[in-house]
Amino acid sequence: MLNLNDLGSIRCVKESGTSSVFQVSLQARLCLMKVYHAIDKQPWHPSYREIDPYICESAAYGRLKEQGLCQQGIVPDFYGVIDQTNPMQWQPHLNKFLKDKHRPNSILLELIPNLKQIGLESYTENLAAALLSIIQQIHEAGICHCDPYPRHMVVQPETDRVLWIDFDRAQIFNDQSITDRYHSWKEDDPLMTAELLDFLAKDMKLGKLVHAWGYYYHYS
């Protein structure tokens, strides 16, 4: 497990209601640190799935690393976690976490510059095939992504590297104990991905988003 003393320079690059993302240096290497607001489990929260983004994403990346997908470069590399950070010790960067009931947890990920979500400007048949292949490998590793929208399917134009990112809704499963609900999630990921890619192929011919519009501006 890492700690704050392992980190160097820091710069906030993105904030949301669930997390803040920072660019940091780790052992002379730039990477991303994603810091999560902890979730208090409530009686009305579903018992059949994990809802805490940190637990979802750290478990998913741990499994992806273990199964060799990080090493393949088809998801960002995973460098570890930092648990139970005291926001007072890292000011002003963690100001937004001062009023939280629980201390935040973090994950450290590979920094991949200039990632572009899939769209009309980047769509190719090879890219579509790669994205479908990657989601299949993610499932074979025992993970449902559970959020298959364009913003999580990306390409680095300079290298043509294709990745799936953002696993903060992902669910972990084992084939021996998989439920009907997990079967449904496993079906949804590739079905929605295939539909999006089919819509984009049609929209390429039109020169504008029509069929795939909902995946960018409505469903997600």
What pLDDT sits at residue 218? 73
Average pLDDT, the chain: 91
Cα gap 120→203, rounded to integer Å? 7
Instruction: For residue 29, name the pLDDT band (cuts at 50, 70, 90).
Output: confident
Reply yes or no on whether the pLDDT at 176 is more than 70.
Answer: no
Number of Cβ atoms within 10 Å of the Cβ of 103: 14
What pLDDT sits at residue 3? 65
Q: 116-217: which CATH number, 1.20.5, 1.20.58, 1.10.510, 3.30.160?
A: 1.10.510
pTM: 0.91
Average of per-residue pLDDT across 147-168: 97
What pLDDT sits at residue 175? 67
Opening angle at CA 49, ends 48 and 54, nearest 5: 155
Cβ atoms of residues 54 and 37 within 8 Å: no
Query: Given the DSSP bridges, would you call strands 29-36 and 7-15 parallel, antiparallel or unpaired?
Result: unpaired
Q: Residue ranges per domain, the chain? A: 4-110, 116-217
Average of per-residue pLDDT across 93-122: 93
What pLDDT sits at residue 40? 81
What pLDDT sits at residue 177? 63
Architecture of domain 4-110: 2-Layer Sandwich (3.30)
What pLDDT sits at residue 45? 76
Tokens of 121: 């400007």
Which of 201, 115, 208, 121 is closest to 162 using CA atoms? 115
Reply yes or no on whether the pLDDT at 39 is more than 80.
Answer: yes
Average of per-residue pLDDT across 185-206: 94
Q: With pLDDT > 90 as the criterion, what percentage of the chain qualifies?
A: 68
